Structure 1
């Protein structure tokens, strides 16, 4: 069975605009695990409404739509969970949870949530927005969907690797060679998002996929929980716990947040740990 642990903290803000959700369900692929973290955009109205709206939408999709998407036939006429030609653990990039139809369905979900938040904001005379980092795991494969600068880390017994890329001005500057990663860590441009759900007419979610081993963990964090940690802090906190139970994982989340607050982090902080079935 999957292991899931989560902790969120208001930090030094007047309200907590972070939201998170998770789920586990049996499908044609076997057990599928979901994790999602959203962070309402600072400076915009009702960020907590935007973030919770998207989390609830992802959870509804997971419980009500995923089975239908997996059952849709591909070009060869087989449903997503029926491709058994490849050896176990060797699913192709287009198979199962990483199939194009799953990504298309999630893309439609993001577009629908974006339109819904835009309508709500227009009706209430304001602007709203939220990041999105969501993760699906099944049969040794993972699919992550990203909008904004919350993050997904893949944690093994020896390391933590950043799966997603921040969609910020600073991250773009690093990719284009105009700024080093060290400069980006302290730049004001690291907080300027290139896109957020609900803040613009069109959203382009970015998808990441890969493989995981039994016992691996995925750590989803809002930006307040990674600013002072980065991969080294995530590794130190969670790599020794790849075989741990949910209670120990929750305690580790509390320790990370307590350390961030002691170092002066002022933002909302959310950590969601997902240990999928092997």
Structure 2
């Protein structure tokens, strides 16, 4: 079994600071393969969003390096899901407390994949998305946004949601409110499928057809392919005048 992964990030064409943070870690241990792929989008309208996103990435990266090796021999996915939710809630409480103490507003999305051998878990707070690219494009996460909630309640159509002034307003993120309810899902990895995590700045001006065609697992089979294509898509996004930071990561299991 092999894991192939790549990522890229860009400050974009208007902002002075890149508030996105991204992390890719893979390891081969005595008990098998493991991987962490994480994208955090610091809140552009809040001060110190880059601090919030970096803190979440730092916490999960340290867990992968220092704690995961001792957890793998007795790995249990339900325990792992409980631990991820607890970590996100602790990070939320820490950032909320820091913001109140320093009179700052800071927040971040947190969306990632943890893979161990042939299985994986997604964890998600906010509107950063995970897609599976196989013979079709499938969105694996549910946007924690005001408009998505209204669409589900039947108060708004998907067409109205795309142009609503509050389309970027989050109802959940890390570091803003006292309560956070992470979305966690378990699944089996599919051989030769590309999994993609991206901030909203990456996907805003790209169609689903473009995402499917440009990130096709038949087209991207190596890390070099992935890296080159992510940069080309980021350049396309910038050419289309996207004003946000732009970040994406690709993960491909070869079972």
- For normalisation by structure 2, the TM-score amounts to 0.92
Does residue 1:162 correspond to 2:139, yes or no?
yes
For 2:131, the equivalent position in structure 1 comes to 153
Contact 1:50 1:117 in 2 (8 A): yes
For 2:4, the equivalent position in structure 1 comes to 3
For 1:276, the equivalent position in structure 2 comes to 253
Contact 1:21 1:59 in 2 (8 A): yes
* Pairs within 5 Å for 1:36-55: 36-55=38-57
- For normalisation by structure 1, the TM-score amounts to 0.85
CA distance in 1, matches of 2:222, 2:119: 21
Does residue 1:108 correspond to 2:86, yes or no?
yes
Contact 1:69 1:102 in 2 (8 A): no
CA distance in 1, matches of 2:67, 2:178: 24
Q: Which runs of 4+ in 1 moved over 4 A?
A: 240-243
Contact 1:162 1:231 in 2 (8 A): no
For structure 1, the residue ranges without an aligned partner over 5 or more in a row are 72-78, 81-95
Deviation at 1:26, TM superposition (A): 3.1
For 1:121, the equivalent position in structure 2 comes to 99
For 1:15, the equivalent position in structure 2 comes to 17
3-state SS, counterpart of residue 228 of structure 1? coil
Contact 1:217 1:242 in 2 (8 A): no
For structure 2, the residue ranges without an aligned partner over 5 or more in a row are none
For 2:150, the equivalent position in structure 1 comes to 173
Query: Cα distance 1:60–1:115, how it changes in 2: closer, same or farther (>3 A)?
Result: same
Deviation at 1:139, TM superposition (A): 3.0
* Pairs within 5 Å for 1:259-270: 259-270=236-247
CA root-mean-square deviation: 1.8
Deviation at 1:163, TM superposition (A): 0.4
Aligned residues: 253
Deviation at 1:120, TM superposition (A): 2.2
Query: Cα distance 1:114–1:28, how it changes in 2: closer, same or farther (>3 A)?
Result: farther
